[in-house]
């Protein structure tokens, strides 16, 4: 038996013994575990599952054991992933610490910073949020104006951020700040880590068209941050910022992947897959009676499968380097797919996908309405689709950059 097969065997046994029964059922949104100081567990087995997985470092399987990670090789991590999906295990911990900050902290942080923050990310003890966009800095992110001025051993931070996901629930923030105003915009940015409980930090949720409020406005009024909490070198934060964005795009591109058996997963068969929904709401038995919708659904599912193969191939091709410029392609395509998916759910379900609240609709149906509206943000958050296409054109295809041509003139 190879070592990899032995690892598969022991992993399978461990999962059989340690994954609680309710953690093998499809995830429901209220039970997603984000961790943090104020975490509340709707389902007590979620806590048990998180603790057991974190103990082995398997919430972050490939991170170094030195900092609490699983220390697994790429192949072992892929075996773990297989085995988890084999028993339909839920994701034990979802967090921006895992998907965004952790990878760049491991790449750019000091040993002390890693020792302080990585184990807490692995165990879900600290919940992080991302301080990037500002009211005046959206697609042109590098024009950000939140400033940090050195005062003794501290930076004094003033300014505001917007679209800060779950800022009202987060414990710490990784934040882009301007530390030099005299140089070109990309060269005066630094990357700061600080506690959201610091004096002078306030947050205000933004209500979205879907009715929910996952994003906030975040304000900094003379927030004092110890200079040791600067990550990477002063004024070189843009490099880290861009690297983190690649990780973010890879995460968001996952929206394009079908979940579980159906197109959107879920617990009832009528809204889990597009074809199931299309037939259910039309009373069709063997095939979708509307030939145009049937063709559109087939086309969507073909693209969706092709996209899943592409994500898989991209993983196989990426060596130790982690995500690269193709993450922009995956982000662009995955988000467009997800938007198409929900437009098709609306067509498949008719007016039952247009309910806002009340007893005339099943909970799952109301959820589809909200998810459809939420999906519209996919091609804006983490860099708009237009920005992703710019990156592909410039970095992958090597096409000339019109902005830098214009600036030369």
Partner 1 sequence: MSLVLTEDQQLLKDSAKNFCQQNAPISVLRKLRDEKSERGYDEAVWQQMVELGWPGMAVAEEHGGFEFGYAGLGVVLEESGRTLVNSPLIASVLFGASLLSEAGSAEQKSALLPKVVSGELLLAVAIDEAPVHNPQHINTSARKDGDHYILDGEKSFVLDGHIANKLIIVARTEGDVESTAGVSLFLVDSDAQGLDIQRTLMVDNRNAARLTLQQVKVPVESLLGGEGAGFEALDRVLDIVRIGVAAEMLGSATEVFERIVDYLKQREQFGVQIGSFQALQHRAAEMYSELELCKSVVRAAVGALDDDSKSTEDRAKMASLAKAKLCEVSELISNEGIQMHGGIGMTDEFDIGFFIKRARAAQQFLGDAAFHRNRYASLHNF
* Residues engaged in binding partner 1 (CB under 8 A): 275, 278-279, 286-288, 294-295, 297-299, 301-303, 305-307, 309-310, 312-313, 316-317, 326, 329, 332-333, 386, 388-390, 392-394, 396-402, 405
Q: Which residue has the tokens 């070189």?
A: 236
CB 10 to partner 1: min, Å? 24
CA–CA dist 212, 375 (Å, integer): 12
Nearer to partner 1, 12 or 395 (CB): 395
Q: How many residues would you count in the chain?
A: 409
CB 258 to partner 1: min, Å? 13
Question: Residue 294 phi/psi, 5° resolution?
Answer: -60, -45
CB 287 to partner 1: min, Å? 6
Question: Closest Cα to residue 171, out of 300, 366, 35?
Answer: 35
Return the axis-axis angle of helices 3-18 and 74-86, rounded to nearest 10°: 40
Q: Region of 361 please: left (phi>0), alpha (psi -120 to 50) or beta.
A: beta
CB 81 to partner 1: min, Å? 15
CB 299 to partner 1: min, Å? 6
Nearer to partner 1, 63 or 333 (CB): 333
Nearer to partner 1, 150 or 306 (CB): 306
- 137 pairs with which residues across the strands? 134
DSSP track, 79-91: HHHHHHHHTTPPP
| 311 in Cβ contact with 285 (< 8 Å) | no
CB 25 to partner 1: min, Å? 25
SS3 percent helix, strand, coil of the chain, rounded to 5, is 50, 15, 35
Nearer to partner 1, 110 or 289 (CB): 289
Nearer to partner 1, 1 or 292 (CB): 292
CB 375 to partner 1: min, Å? 19
Beta strands in 214-297 (DSSP E): 215-226, 230-231
First to last CA, the chain: 65
Return the axis-axis angle of helices 326-349 and 291-317, rounded to nearest 10°: 160
Nearer to partner 1, 207 or 320 (CB): 320
CA–CA dist 138, 136 (Å, integer): 6
CB 184 to partner 1: min, Å? 20
In whole angstroms, how large is the CA radius of gyration of the chain?
22
Backbone CA torsion sign across 256, 40, 44, 96: positive
Token digits of residue 342: 């929900």
Token digits of residue 24: 């093998």
Nearer to partner 1, 230 or 387 (CB): 387
Nearer to partner 1, 204 or 294 (CB): 294
Nearer to partner 1, 108 or 281 (CB): 281
CB 78 to partner 1: min, Å? 11
CB 328 to partner 1: min, Å? 8
Cβ count near 170 (within 10 Å): 28
Q: Which residue has the tokens 């065997």?
A: 9
| 166 in Cβ contact with 214 (< 8 Å) | yes
Token digits of residue 169: 């629930």
Nearer to partner 1, 145 or 322 (CB): 322
């Amino acid at each position: 038996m190879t070592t990899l097969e032995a690892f598969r065997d022991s992993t399978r046994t461990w999962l059989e013994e340690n994954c609680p029964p309710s953690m093998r059922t499809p995830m429901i949104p209220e039970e997603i575990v984000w961790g943090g100081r104020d975490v509340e567990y709707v389902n007590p087995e979620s806590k048990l599952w998180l603790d057991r997985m974190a103990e082995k470092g398997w919430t972050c399987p490939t991170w170094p054991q030195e900092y609490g990670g699983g220390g697994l090789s790429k192949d072992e991590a892929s075996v773990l992933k297989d085995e988890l999906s084999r028993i339909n295990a839920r994701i034990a911990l979802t967090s921006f610490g895992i998907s965004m900050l952790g990878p760049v902290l491991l790449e750019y942080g000091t040993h002390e910073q890693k020792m302080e923050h990585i184990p807490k990310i692995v165990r879900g003890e600290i919940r992080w949020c991302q301080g990037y966009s500002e009211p005046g800095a959206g697609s042109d992110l590098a024009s950000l104006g939140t400033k940090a001025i050195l005062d003794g051993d501290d930076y004094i931070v003033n300014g505001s951020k917007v679209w800060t996901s779950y800022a009202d629930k987060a414990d710490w923030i990784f934040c882009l700040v301007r530390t030099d105003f005299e140089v070109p915009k990309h060269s005066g940015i630094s990357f700061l880590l600080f506690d959201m409980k610091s004096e002078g930090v306030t947050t205000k949720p933004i209500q979205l068209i879907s009715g929910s409020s996952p994003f906030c406005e975040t304000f900094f009024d003379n927030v004092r941050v110890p200079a040791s909490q600067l990550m990477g070198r002063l004024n070189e934060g843009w490099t880290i910022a861009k690297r983190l964005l690649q990780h973010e795009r890879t995460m968001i591109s996952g929206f394009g992947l079908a979940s579980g058996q159906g197109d959107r997963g879920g617990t009832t068969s009528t809204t889990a897959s597009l074809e199931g929904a299309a037939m259910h709401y039309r009373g069709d038995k063997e095939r979708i009676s509307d030939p145009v919708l049937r063709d559109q659904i087939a086309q969507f599912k073909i693209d969706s499968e092709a996209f899943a193969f592409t994500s898989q191939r991209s993983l196989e091709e990426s060596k130790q380097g982690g995500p690269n410029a193709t993450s922009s392609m995956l982000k662009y395509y995955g988000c467009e797919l997800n938007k198409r998916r929900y437009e098709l759910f609306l067509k498949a379900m008719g007016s039952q996908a247009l309910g806002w609240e009340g007893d005339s609709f099943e909970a799952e149906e109301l959820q589809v309405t909200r998810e459809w509206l939420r999906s519209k943000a996919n091609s804006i958050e983490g860099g708009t689709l237009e920005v992703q296409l710019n990156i592909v054109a410039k970095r992958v295809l090597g096409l000339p950059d019109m902005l830098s041509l214009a600036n030369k003139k």
